[in-house]
Structure formats: structure tokens, C-alpha cells
Amino acid sequence: MKKYVSISILGFLLLSCLAFKFEPINSFPLFGKFIILDPGHGNEDPGSIYNDEFEKNYNLEFARTLKRTIEKYGGTVILTRDGDYDLSNPKAHSRKRSDFDNRIKLINEDAPDLYISLHMNYLNDPKYFGSQTFYSTVNSKNELLAQKLQDRLNDFFNFKKDYKKIGNDKYMFSKIEVPGVLLEYGFMSNYKDRKNLKNENYREKLSTVICQGIIDYFT
């Protein structure tokens, strides 16, 4: 009897090892996918401001964490900026317009499988928190991506925000032809979002949720 038990245990261990051996294949669901992350603002353009805190810095930190997380899932990622600068030409008449134009050019020319522009929201009422996706109708895949991301984000934040169409005034997003969304991943105007987003563990958790949404979109 003891012998059979030992054999069963051995068999179980062997199966566990096999399962473990094959697991890494499934843990790279974004292998072969090329993603551009676009942290908004930079340099003279701080984005939203709360006291002495600038949105541009939050965007960069979050983009870096999201990049690492996507890479853990096997994806290839580049950032439109990886420092405190914007993409405007130094002699540009309109710095903001030039920054947009160069982001548009970079994303269109590199033709990733998808892009995500990262920004924070700001409302006068500080009670609003959490992430929301916005899409333009330029590429027909944008809405699906916005929906898949929002579904996962709604589960994570335990709320029911709608993914929304970007208004016509969003110059940049009307010119990017490859699939992608604007992700307002948190509120500068909300204490908890600011506090959470300073924490690498939280940024990793939120990044993992976003990766799940990206995987849903591709599958």
C-alpha cells in the first residue's frame, strides 16, 4: 500500500514538473507584440499640476513601470520619451503643436501593434479617481481596445466607468493611424490616486491589469 502511495506521489510530482516546464510558454502572451507607450507632456509642459507635483513626472514613472510589466509578458516596448523632455523641435513656432506632430510621426512610422498615450485626469471635484480609456474613430480597432482595457480596469477599481470617444479637439489622436488609446490612468485631483501612483507596487498592480486588457484585445 505504502509503495502505491509513493508511486502516486512520484507521479504527481512528475506531472507538476511537466506543468511547470510548459508554463513559461503561456506566461509570454505578448510575445511578438510591439507596443509604444507615450507618456504625455515633458520639459516646459508639466501637464496637470497639484501643488508642486507635475503630471509629466507621474506619466514617465508610470510608463516605465508599464513598460517593464509588458516586457515580463514577452512584449517589446518603446517609450516616446524616457526623460524630462518633450518632442518639439527647438525652433518650432508652437511648441505644443510640434510636440504632438513628432509624437504622431514617431508612432505612425514605427507602426506598432498598438500604442497607449498615458495622461492623468484633473477635475475640480477631488472625489473622482481611477482609470478611464478614450478612443478616436480613426482606426476601427481603437474602440475594442478601449473596451477591453476599461473592462479590466472597472473590475480592478470596482466601478463602472464608460470607455469614451475622444472629442474632435484632440488633435493628436485624430492623426495617429495605428490602433491605440488615450489612457487617463488616474486623477491628479485625487489624493488616493496621487498617493498610490507614487508606490511602485501599486503601479505594478495597475500595469498588470492593463496587460490583461491588452491580452484580451489580442486574443
* Site for Zn ion, rule CB under 5 A: 40, 47, 119
Strand partners, 35: 77, 114
Shortest Å distance, C-beta 203 to Zn ion: 17
Q: Whole-number minimum distance, CB 17 to Zn ion, in Å?
A: 48
Q: List, as one string, the DSSP characters of 54-99.
A: EHHHHHHHHHHHHHHHHHHTT-EEEES-SSS-----TT-SSHHHHH
Question: In terms of CB distance, is 12 or 85 closer to Zn ion?
Answer: 85
Closer to Zn ion by Cβ: residue 33 or 56:
56
Q: Hey, is 22 helix, strand or coil?
A: helix
Residue 76 · residue 35 · CB < 8 Å: yes
Nearer to Zn ion, 119 or 152 (CB): 119
Question: In terms of CB distance, is 75 or 186 closer to Zn ion?
Answer: 186
Give the amino acid at 72: K
Q: CB-wise, 30 or 36, nearer to Zn ion?
A: 36
Task: Report helix, strand or coil for 219.
Answer: coil
The SS3 assignment for 205 reads: helix
Cα 39–43–45 angle (5° rounding)? 75
Q: CB–CB of 55/187 below 8 Å?
A: no
Shortest distance, position 120 Cβ to Zn ion, whole Å: 6
- Residue in the shown chain whose Cβ atom is closest to Zn ion: 119
Nearer to Zn ion, 24 or 83 (CB): 83
Strands (E), 48-204: 49-50, 53-54, 76-79, 114-121, 132-135, 164-165, 180-187
